[in-house]
Chains A and B, each alone.
Chain A
Amino acid sequence: MIVCVAVIGQQNNPLFLQSFTQEDDDLKLHHIVHCSLDVIDERVNNPKRSGIAVNEAFLGLLYPTESYKVYGYLTNTKVKFILITADPEVRDADARNFFRKFHVAYVDAVSNPFHVPGKKITSTSFSRKLRSIVDNLGSITTV
C-alpha cells in the first residue's frame, strides 16, 4: 500500500505531498520525506559509491523506516519524487513504472502556464491523477 508521495523542489523545499493513509500522520510523513533527502544527496554526490547507473532518474530504495520503505527519483531538473510505501516488497519494475507515470503527471502539472515554476503544486487535477496512479500500482502489487 502506498502511504505517501511527495515532490521536492530544487532547493529541497516541499512542492507537493499527498498522504494516502486514513490516519493523520502528515508530520511523520514530512519527517520521513525530509530525511530521505539526505540519502538522495549522498547518492547523487557520491555517484561512484552508489554504483553504475549514475545518472538514472530512478534512485531505488532510499531507506527503510520502522514501517515503511522510501523510494526516490531525481529528475534532470533536480526535482525529487518520493514514494513511501508500506509494502514490504515492491518490484523494481513497478516502482520504475510508477515514477515514470508520476513524472509525466508532474510535467503536465508544471507546464500549466498559470503555474509559476518553483512554487508549490496546488493543482487538484495533478492530485487526482496521482491518486489514480497510486491506485493502479496498488492493484498491480496486490494481484
Chain B
Amino acid sequence: MGREVSESCIDALITEMVSSYCNRFYVNKPEVSARRIEAIGYQVGIQLSERYTVERPRFSEHLEAIKFICKEFWSELFKKQIDNLKTNHKGTFVLQDNRFQWLTHMSINASAETTDSSQQEPHSPNSTTLDANLLQATSMHLYFPCGIIRGALSNLGIPCAVSADASNLPACSFVIRIKA
C-alpha cells in the first residue's frame, strides 16, 4: 500500500537539508542547526512510527519496541534490517547498521587514509582539519536519523536519548539510552 520514493531524492533532500541548516540558516551555530535537524527527524519519526505500527499489536516491553525499530521500521526506511543489536540490559541499546544508506555517499577515503598514515607519518595539520570537517559533516547528517529513532520510540512511549557513532564508515551505530 505504501507509496515509494526515489532513494536518490531522499539522499539529496537530506544533504540539502543539512547544508541549508548548517551553511545558510545557522552559520557558526552548529548546536542550533543540530537541534533543528534533530527536531525534524523527531517529527518524522513520530509520524512514521504512527504509520508503521498500524495493525500491529501493542508492545508490552521496551525490547519489543526496539526490535520493531531494528526490523520492520528499518526495513520500511532502508529496505534492510539493523545488522546488530546490543544491549547492557540497563536501558542502553546499540543498533549497528553495517552499511547505513544515508552515509554511503560520504567519502570514506579520507578516513581510510588517516588510519593508514597514522602508522607511517604524523598528520599534516591540513589533513586533521579535513578530518574534523568530515566528522562534523557526518555527524550533522546523523542528527536526522537519530531524531527519527528518538521520535519513533518516544511515540511508542519510550522516552530516550539517541546518539550516533560513524567512526568507521559506512557502518554506523546508534546508541539509544532509555530515560528511566
Contact = CB atoms under 8 A, between A and B. Distances in A.
Instruction: Give yes or no for direct A-B contact (beta carbon below 8 Å).
Output: yes
Interface of A: 10, 47, 54-57, 74-79, 100, 103-104, 106-107, 110-111, 113, 116-117
Contacts of A55: 57-60
26 contacts: A10-B155, A10-B157, A47-B60, A54-B58, A55-B59, A55-B60, A56-B58, A75-B50, A76-B53, A76-B56, A76-B57, A76-B58, A76-B59, A77-B49, A77-B50, A77-B155, A77-B156, A78-B156, A103-B54, A106-B50, A107-B51, A110-B46, A111-B50, A111-B51, A117-B47, A117-B151
Given A106-B50, A113-B47, A117-B47, 7 more contacts: A75-B58, A76-B49, A76-B57, A76-B59, A77-B53, A77-B157, A110-B46
A111 B47 contact: yes
Contacts of A78: 156-157
B58 A116 contact: no
B43 interface: yes
Given A10-B157, A55-B58, A55-B59, A107 B50 contact: yes
Given A77-B155, A77-B156, A117-B43, A110 B58 contact: no
Contacts of B58: 54-57, 74-76
Contacts of A74: 58
A57 B155 CA distance: 16
B57 A56 contact: yes
Nearest to A112: B47
A98 to B, nearest CB: 14
Most B CB contacts (10 A, CB to CB) among A75, A110, A113, A117 go to A117
Interface string B138-162: 0000000000000100011100000
Contacts of B54: 75, 103-104, 107
